[in-house]
Structure 1
Amino acid sequence: MNPLLLAVETAGPAEAEVAANLSPLILVAVLMALVVIYLASRIAGEIAVRLSFPPVLGELLGGVMVGASVLGLLVFREGQVTGEELQTLAHSSTLMQFLQATAGLSEGSLTEVFSAQSEIIDILSEIGVIILLFEIGLESDLSELLRVGPQAAAVAVIGVAVPFLAGTLGLLYFFQVPVIPAVFAGAALTATSIGITARVLAELQKLTSPEGQVIIGAAVLDDVLGIIILAVVAGLAKNGEVNLTDIGIIIVSAIVFLVGSIVLGRLLSSYFVALLNSLKTRGNPLLPALVLAFVLAYVGQIIHLEAILGAFAAGLILAETDKRQELEEQIKPISDLLVPIFFVCVGAKTNLAVLNPAIPANREGLVIALFLIGVAILGKLAAGLGAFGKPGINRYAIGVGMIPRGEVGLVFAGVGAASGVLSDALDVSIIVMVIATTFVAPLWLRGVLVRAEAESKEEEIPSLRDLQADVAEQDRENSRANSDGIPADMAEVDQVGIPEG
């Protein structure tokens, strides 16, 4: 429940009146934040498209522009902050200043409105990525995902193991970082943002390609492995030891949930479709499908996995039914409404101040960041080699598709900062690594896939030209034979030679 509405019910008459009066101000604050988000996503997305860049890159950069690093229109409260810190954040928001000047927002109400607005936009952002993964599941081919399962598993394992080991050992021996912080930073290198990569694949209509299916399958497994690793390093940071029981529960939960939901969903899908066919009201079949997606998202979240995995599983299940095409069309407007919120918010939370070498605390972090960026990129490129047994598959594209860390990397950075085990320099280096991989990967992946498609077409052109040349040569021979009064088929015999006499 909204804490302000709870205050209305539990506080005294005076406090309840103040909280109730804030509700309209929270509403207009959220509405203005959405105006900023949609303008940023559309303007920056249009510019990106016209420059032949992926639209998602435009949305991320649009988020940076309206975030705290540039215009300060969209500022977020992250983690536990004190009253003074919250007030400072609220005053740093240009949007809050605008509301204070135009909507009669008092100084005393500023922090409450800012806090509520930040929380609501964050929730809408999370719903946006849930919708995105549900849509990706609908557009995926479960049979193809199962076929590329071994390759996806190999890509995921390599993409987790190589960056983790290289990053941890490099920090230990080259930078003399203590063991637990080094392990934590190495764990942050294992993440993959399925949302960012999937958006690029969908825009290029490569989601159902062999490369796309391997990337999606590997990213899902990577997400599960990342959660397990996060649980391990969080335990190390908190207690200095690993609780094997908790890790075992997470692993078993992940297997049972992903496999069980898909198997059970396929068994019950015919009954679900029959139910959909019997409904006569508006919103069918989209609303019942979203109910299924949200229920599985809820289950995924409460068993310490991710809500997005549940939504993806729901999409895969419904993609096997004859409602797939109808659902794909109906989900698009919902996706267009909510998904940009997620990407703009990821960009808005990017703190460009950590890139400033003039700040002494950043210098050591930037040096370590260069090392982490190299490991983050090379480790995921190596993961592409795991796509074995698939002749002609673009392993390079698979590796590039696994590079972006995005919101998953920010989760690792946030947990590390909250635990207190990371030094300022190491915290800065992880954030810089996340920024670099998040913004470079979409453009890189698009370039790789577009170039591969162009090369494929060029390979077809020579064979066509050879055929045209053969036809033209045959026409010339026929013309010469006809001009000499010799039938075309006899001309070849004459060239071999016929004995005279």
Structure 2
Amino acid sequence: MSYLIQLFIVLLLTKIGSHLSNILKFPSVIGELLVGIVAGPAVLHLLSPTTFIHYFSELGVIILMFIAGLEGNLEMLMKYWKPSLIVAVLGVIVPTGSAALLCSLFFGFSWETSLFIGLVLSATSVSITVQVLREMGRMDSKEGAMILGAAVADDILCVILLGLSISFIGSRGTTGLDLIGLIGPKVLFFVIAFVLGKWFVPRFLEIFSKLSASENETTAALILCFGFAAIAVLMDMSDVLGAYFAGLAISETKFKEKLSLKIEPIGYAVFIPVFFVSIGLSISFKGMQNDILFIVLLIIIAILGKQIGCGFGAKMFGLTWNEANIVGAGMVSRGEMALVVANVALNAGVIDASHYTAMIVVTVITTLIAPVILKIYIQRTSTNIIYEND
């Protein structure tokens, strides 16, 4: 199928899906995710996960997290770094431990397989959470700051645990990784991001703003976005993490408001819808009938593990239960890191193709459910605030 026809179908259907989703009082992202499932290999076969859609979706999630950084509040992130770390740690321990115990004791898997399945459920992706927070005006709240801070820590913890797990099963065909070599580039990334963000980014934007060309600042912002993302990948970090820090650095400059108005139309008109659709395209219902119980139980653990672990961590730092539940729900969504862990486990021979497919299904379905839960808790908190004011 021509890439032009693919893009035509995606853009047309995502707008219809978003419209219907909003009419039904769901977050618009649910409509876009469902478009991927219905139009994809699972149902109508109008779309498939092609190379074109893959790269377009990669750009979409990078721009989405860049926008999240632009709308971020560095002062609030620094203020909530301690609770964010605790939220991340509990959000890894509870679902990982619960899933590993379930797989080992109930399904009889080896400890290696159980551990990797648990690690798949430990990895949070806040890309979709960011969309819901933006729609409901909660990006600049203490819950939003805590979620974003915890997501950064969660990513690092997951990478470290993945490296340790691979080193333990190195004799099964995967080369053991040196822990210092694993952690070192991550630490270096944060140093580089801090230095560039504080001293280079403002000057870079100032220089570009004086050039005699069209859309100077917008181009400069995108250069920084993709540049930071590339640096993150070179340091074995997620590209979306680099893009987020680029946006966060720009948010501390005088160009923040102007660039937010310029970048958002670029992302939300074309690239970001393709990203949400691509998640739904990875769903396939073939061969799932043999793993229904396994999938259902893991979905329950995936949701409750993050909700309880992260929510309890947030509650420890003085949030109300409703606010803590927002944090928990905001950490439920899974994404690219979960897929990476599942792929590593498959390549290492720790899980077979059938259970790999089951983990992909768990990841996608959990991601579909997460924004609904998040919206419910945000609405509940907003209702309580109205009653208190009355």
TM-score strictly above 0.5: yes
Name the structure 2 match of 1:375. Answer: 301
Q: TM-score of the superposition, structure 1-length normalised?
A: 0.73
Name the structure 2 match of 1:65. Answer: 38
List per-residue Cα deviations over 1:32-80 (Å, max 9, x = no partner): 111111122111111101111001111000111111011112123xxxx
| Whole-Å separation in 1 of the counterparts to 2:26 and 2:217 | 34
Say whether residues 1:246 and 2:170 are aligned partners: no
Post-superposition shift, 1:242?
Answer: 8.5
List per-residue Cα deviations over 1:146-179 (Å, max 9, x = no partner): 1111111111111111211221122112221012
| Whole-Å separation in 1 of the counterparts to 2:168 and 2:298 | 21
Name the structure 1 match of 2:25. Answer: 52
Instruction: Give the alignment partner of residue 458 of structure 1, picking from 359, 362, 387.
Output: 387
RCO higher in structure (CA 8 A, sep ≥6)? 2
Mark the CA change 1:424 to 1:294 in structure 2 (over 3 Å): closer, same or farther: closer
Say whether residues 1:406 and 2:335 are aligned partners: yes
Unmatched segments (≥5 aa) in structure 2: none
Flag the structure with larger Rg.
1
Secondary structure in 1 matching 2:122: coil
| Whole-Å separation in 1 of the counterparts to 2:284 and 2:347 | 17
> Is the CA contact 2:205–2:221 (under 8 Å) kept in the aligned structure 1?
no
Post-superposition shift, 1:262?
Answer: 2.2
Q: TM-score of the superposition, structure 2-length normalised?
A: 0.93
Name the structure 1 match of 2:65. Answer: 133
Post-superposition shift, 1:226?
Answer: 2.1
| Whole-Å separation in 2 of the counterparts to 1:292 and 1:428 | 36
| Whole-Å separation in 2 of the counterparts to 1:223 and 1:369 | 24
Partner AA of 1:299 in structure 2: I
| Structure 1 segments (4+ residues) deviating >4 Å | 234-238, 241-245
Instruction: Give the alignment partner of residue 188 of structure 1, picking from 107, 114, 120.
Output: 120
Name the structure 2 match of 1:295. Answer: 227
> Is the CA contact 2:311–2:324 (under 8 Å) kept in the aligned structure 1?
yes
After superposition, residues 111-260 of structure 1 pair within 5 angstroms as: 118-236=50-168, 239-240=171-172, 246-260=178-192
> Is the CA contact 1:68–1:351 (under 8 Å) kept in the aligned structure 2?
yes
List per-residue Cα deviations over 1:251-291 (Å, max 9, x = no partner): 22222212431244113344224313322311220111111
Post-superposition shift, 1:410?
Answer: 2.9
> Is the CA contact 1:191–1:223 (under 8 Å) kept in the aligned structure 2?
yes
> Is the CA contact 1:235–1:241 (under 8 Å) kept in the aligned structure 2?
no
Taking only the aligned residue pairs, the percentage that are identical comes to 34
Post-superposition shift, 1:217?
Answer: 1.1
Partner AA of 1:204 in structure 2: M
Mark the CA change 1:66 to 1:234 in structure 2 (over 3 Å): closer, same or farther: farther
Say whether residues 1:385 and 2:299 are aligned partners: no
Name the structure 2 match of 1:338. Answer: 271
Post-superposition shift, 1:443?
Answer: 0.8
| Whole-Å separation in 1 of the counterparts to 2:326 and 2:81 | 17
| Whole-Å separation in 1 of the counterparts to 2:146 and 2:175 | 32
Unmatched segments (≥5 aa) in structure 1: 1-27, 77-117, 462-501
> Is the CA contact 2:279–2:364 (under 8 Å) kept in the aligned structure 1?
no
| Whole-Å separation in 2 of the counterparts to 1:410 and 1:43 | 28
Name the structure 2 match of 1:487. Answer: none
| Whole-Å separation in 1 of the counterparts to 2:101 and 2:114 | 8
- The alignment covers a number of residue pairs equal to 386
Mark the CA change 1:418 to 1:66 in structure 2 (over 3 Å): closer, same or farther: farther
